[in-house]
Amino acid sequence: MQTIYWQNELSDLATYEQPILPYAYGRSYGDSCLNENGISLDLTHLRRFISFDQVTGLLRCEAGVSLAEILDIFVPRGWFLPVTPGTKFVSVGGAIANDIHGKNHHRSGTFGCHVTCFELLRSNGQRLTCSPDQNSELFRATIGGLGLTGIILWAEFRLKPIVNPYIDMDHIRFSSLDEFFEISAESDQDFEYTMSWVDLFIGGQNLCRGIFMRGNHNQSQTLASKPTKKRLPLALPINLPSFTLNTITVKAFNELYYHAQVRKRVHKTMPYDPFFYPLDSIHDWYRMYGKRGFLQYQFVIPFEHAREAMRETLGRIRHSGEGSFLTVLKTFGDIPSPGVLSFPRPGLTLALDFAYGGQKTLDLLNELDTIIMQTRGALYPAKDARMSAQSFQTFYPQWKQFAEYIDPHFSSSFWRRVTAATQANQKCRGPQPSAGVWGVPT
């Protein structure tokens, strides 16, 4: 891993013999931020703020600035992120490269929808300003472009005004997938943020049950001066034994969590931090999965197939005996993502995590891939470490169009995996131009 401290310190990228990949906080769950046998450029030191317009909310900063740093500085001044994922420890560059989504996708689309421009450094030394009007094709390829089109040096995007740092939030218990859809449809109108924790183990016609969470920024001036308490993070000091999370313990946890809320609906006003980032309060939370770790699996399926696909998916999961500990369900809205390869699209998205149990976990996920393919859905590359080249190319048929914009010196472990067959074919056809070496089809 090489660390870059200043924009003008970058050496000539074309002289590296191995493929290059930008790296930030490594919060991607799979190998899209990894570059085995290649060079990872740590860009988290590109962390200067460049400008802020107090009228329009336009913020320009270097790409290694984290969302946590932006919140620390701008929330007390009455500004909030346009879109935020479930952790604030991600960089602006990472947020663009994965075109991340948040609880407000139905209202605000992806992070990329709020980016007005950025500067991209290509390995031939060119520094290109990219925006919807300037180098617009590279702009669209870089948003959701998995770090493969060059290094984002700085970016400009729009923050949104808030009155105070608090969220008015409802927790609503639901007892079936149909009820989830009802609450979701009703909430999308009036609530900026929505998502649900779900229990997949109930079986029967109801398919799942859970807690629907929805919220809006509080509008009271009186709370503007009330400081939010800093949460002291807990830490998991050791890897828990692998058997800690199994179907029985997950079912028991789900039962407790679901019934912990006695009333059907609970309303609270709470600081933004625990609302958006509950996992950030437990350092090294992934240790609860034991030494073998876990695999995240997030898919989206179009609404027209949602019920049938959920029935099929949940049936397979239950049958496999693999338990997802933390399962999150949400609907994506129809605001188009600007990125060529962006994951979010209208439909139902489910994020699951499975303690890694070797081949049986992989077999289950391969089965789920088939269902997602049949329903014309897709998996999220930022949360994937195992999908096949065939699956990826089916989920993202536009990948060849995207590949034309990959920088010839850039690649990643993910990209080599999901284009493996193509690269093998290229080898059979004999030597290719250098653009092909790192997975760019020619």
Site size for ligand FAD (CB under 6 A): 31
Residue 248 C-beta-side C-alpha neighbours within 13 Å: 2
d(CA 24, CA 13): 17
**Cβ 166 to ligand FAD, closest distance in Å?**
21
Nearer to ligand FAD, 339 or 436 (CB): 339
**Cβ 91 to ligand FAD, closest distance in Å?**
3
Q: What residue has token string 């090294």?
A: 284
Tell me the window of 1-9, 79-87, 202-210, 399-407 that interacts with ligand FAD (CB under 6 A): 79-87
d(CA 160, CA 247): 42
Count helices and strands in the chain by DSSP H and E runs? 13, 20
**Cβ 111 to ligand FAD, closest distance in Å?**
8
Nearer to ligand FAD, 27 or 171 (CB): 27
Other C-beta atoms closer than 10 Å to the C-beta of 422 total 18
How big, in percent rounded to 5, are the helix, strand and coil portions of the chain?
35, 25, 40
Nearer to ligand FAD, 63 or 379 (CB): 63
d(CA 400, CA 393): 9
Nearer to ligand FAD, 75 or 100 (CB): 100
d(CA 347, CA 330): 9
- Residue numbers 257-286 binding ligand FAD by CB under 6 A: 279
Backbone dihedral region for residue 109 (phi beyond 0: left; psi -120 to 50: alpha; all else: beta)? left
- Residue numbers 35-64 binding ligand FAD by CB under 6 A: 43, 63
Instruction: Check binding of 90 to ligand FAD (CB under 6 A).
Output: yes
Binding mask 330-369 for ligand FAD (x = CB under 6 A): ----------------------------------------
Tell me the window of 12-20, 86-94, 366-374, 392-400 that interacts with ligand FAD (CB under 6 A): 86-94
Nearer to ligand FAD, 45 or 226 (CB): 45
Contact partners, residue 397, CB within 8 Å, separation at least 6? none
Backbone dihedral region for residue 222 (phi beyond 0: left; psi -120 to 50: alpha; all else: beta)? alpha
Binding mask 125-164 for ligand FAD (x = CB under 6 A): ---------------------xx---xx------------
For residue 355, give the DSSP letter: E
Instruction: Check binding of 377 to ligand FAD (CB under 6 A).
Output: no
Binding mask 8-37 for ligand FAD (x = CB under 6 A): -------------xxxxxxxx---xx----
For residue 364 the two structure tokens come to 């289950």
Count the residues in the chain: 442
Binding site for ligand FAD (CB under 6 A): 21-28, 32-33, 43, 63, 85-87, 90-91, 93-95, 97-98, 100-102, 146-147, 151-152, 279, 382
